[in-house]
Chains A and B, each alone.
Chain A
Amino acid sequence: MTDATAVHVADLGFRYPRQRDDALHEVSFSVGATEWVGLLGPNGGGKTTLLRLLLGQLVPDTGSIDILGGPPAKTRQKIGYVPQHTGIDPSVPASVLDVVLLGRLSGSTWGPRYSQHDRELALAALEETHTADLADRAWRTLSGGQRQRVLIARALASRADLLLLDEPTTGIDIHREKELLRLLEHLNERLPIVMVSHDIALVSHHMDRALWVDCTVREIDARHLDSDSLEHFFHGERP
Chain B
Amino acid sequence: MSQFFIDAAVNPFLWSGLVAGGLASVSCGIVGPYVVTRRLLFLAGALAHIAIGGVGAAIYLSTVHPTVFGWLEPIHGGLFAALVSAPLLAVLKHRVKERLDTMVGALWAVGMSVGILLIKITPGYHTELMSYLFGNISFVTRRDLIFLAVLSAVVIVTASLFHRRFLALCLDPEQAELRGIPVLTTDIVLFLLIAATVIVLTQIVGLILVIALLSLPAAIGARLTTRLGPSMAVTFVVSALVTTLPRIAVYGTPVSPETAIVLATAGLYLLVVLRRRPRAR
Interface residues of A, Cβ cutoff 8 Å to B: 55, 57, 76-77, 79, 81, 83, 86-89, 91-95, 98-99, 102-103, 105-107, 109-114, 136-138, 140-141, 154, 158
Contact A87 B174 (CB under 8 A): yes
DSSP class of A's interface residues: helix, strand, loop or mixed?
loop
Q: Does B274 contact A (CB under 8 A)?
A: no
Q: Does B142 contact A (CB under 8 A)?
A: no
Q: Does B141 contact A (CB under 8 A)?
A: no
- Within 154-178 of B, Cβ neighbours of A (below 8 Å) are at 160-165, 167-168, 170-178
| Best-buried of B161, B168, B171, B222 by chain A (most CB within 10 Å) | B171
Contact A92 B164 (CB under 8 A): no
Task: Tell me the complex Cα distance, A154–B176, Å.
Answer: 12
Task: Tell me the complex Cα distance, A95–B230, Å.
Answer: 11
Contact B181 A111 (CB under 8 A): no
When distances are taken between beta carbons in the complex, the residues of chain A under 8 Å from B176 are 102, 105
- Within 173-189 of B, Cβ neighbours of A (below 8 Å) are at 173-182
Beyond A87-B175, A93-B222, A105-B180, whether A98 also contacts B280 by CB under 8 A is: no
When distances are taken between beta carbons in the complex, the residues of chain B under 8 Å from A110 are 161-162, 164
Contact A94 B171 (CB under 8 A): yes
Q: Does B225 contact A (CB under 8 A)?
A: yes
Contact A107 B181 (CB under 8 A): yes
DSSP class of B's interface residues: helix, strand, loop or mixed?
helix
A-B contact pairs, 20 of them (CB 8 A): A77-B180, A83-B174, A86-B172, A87-B174, A87-B175, A91-B222, A93-B230, A93-B231, A95-B226, A95-B227, A102-B171, A103-B175, A105-B165, A107-B180, A109-B164, A109-B165, A111-B161, A111-B164, A112-B160, A154-B175
Contact B179 A87 (CB under 8 A): no
Contact A112 B163 (CB under 8 A): yes
Beyond A88-B171, A91-B222, A138-B280, whether A109 also contacts B181 by CB under 8 A is: yes
When distances are taken between beta carbons in the complex, the residues of chain A under 8 Å from B221 are 93
Minimum CB–CB distance for A131 against chain B, Å: 15
Q: Does B228 contact A (CB under 8 A)?
A: yes
Interface residues of B, Cβ cutoff 8 Å to A: 33, 37, 39, 160-165, 167-168, 170-182, 221-222, 225-228, 230-231, 280-281
When distances are taken between beta carbons in the complex, the residues of chain A under 8 Å from B175 are 81, 87, 102-103, 105, 154
Which of the residues B180, B228, B281 comes within 8 Å of A98, measured between beta carbons? Answer: B228
Contact B172 A102 (CB under 8 A): yes
A92-B37, A98-B171 given. 8 additional CB < 8 A pairs? A57-B178, A91-B37, A93-B225, A94-B171, A111-B163, A112-B163, A112-B164, A136-B281
Contact A141 B179 (CB under 8 A): no
Contact A92 B171 (CB under 8 A): yes
Contact B281 A138 (CB under 8 A): yes
Contact B171 A137 (CB under 8 A): no
When distances are taken between beta carbons in the complex, the residues of chain B under 8 Å from A83 are 174
Task: Tell me the complex Cα distance, A141–B227, Å.
Answer: 13
When distances are taken between beta carbons in the complex, the residues of chain A under 8 Å from B230 are 93
Task: Tell me the complex Cα distance, A70–B177, Å.
Answer: 18
Which of the residues A87, A99, A105 comes within 8 Å of B164, measured between beta carbons? Answer: A105
Minimum CB–CB distance for A190 against chain B, Å: 21
| Best-buried of A88, A107, A109, A141 by chain B (most CB within 10 Å) | A109
Contact A92 B173 (CB under 8 A): no
When distances are taken between beta carbons in the complex, the residues of chain A under 8 Å from B182 are 107
When distances are taken between beta carbons in the complex, the residues of chain B under 8 Å from A88 are 171-172
When distances are taken between beta carbons in the complex, the residues of chain B under 8 Å from A107 are 179-182
When distances are taken between beta carbons in the complex, the residues of chain A under 8 Å from B161 are 110-111
When distances are taken between beta carbons in the complex, the residues of chain B under 8 Å from A106 are 179-180
Contact B280 A114 (CB under 8 A): no
When distances are taken between beta carbons in the complex, the residues of chain B under 8 Å from A81 are 175, 178
Task: Tell me the complex Cα distance, A94–B161, Å.
Answer: 19
Contact B165 A92 (CB under 8 A): no
Contact B180 A93 (CB under 8 A): no
Closest to B170 in A: A92
Closest to B222 in A: A93
Contact A105 B181 (CB under 8 A): yes
Minimum CB–CB distance for A135 against chain B, Å: 11
Closest to B225 in A: A93
When distances are taken between beta carbons in the complex, the residues of chain A under 8 Å from B167 are 94, 98
Which of the residues A136, A137, A138, A158 comes within 8 Å of B179, measured between beta carbons? Answer: A158
Minimum CB–CB distance for A114 against chain B, Å: 7
Task: Tell me the complex Cα distance, A76–B174, Å.
Answer: 13
When distances are taken between beta carbons in the complex, the residues of chain B under 8 Å from A114 are 164
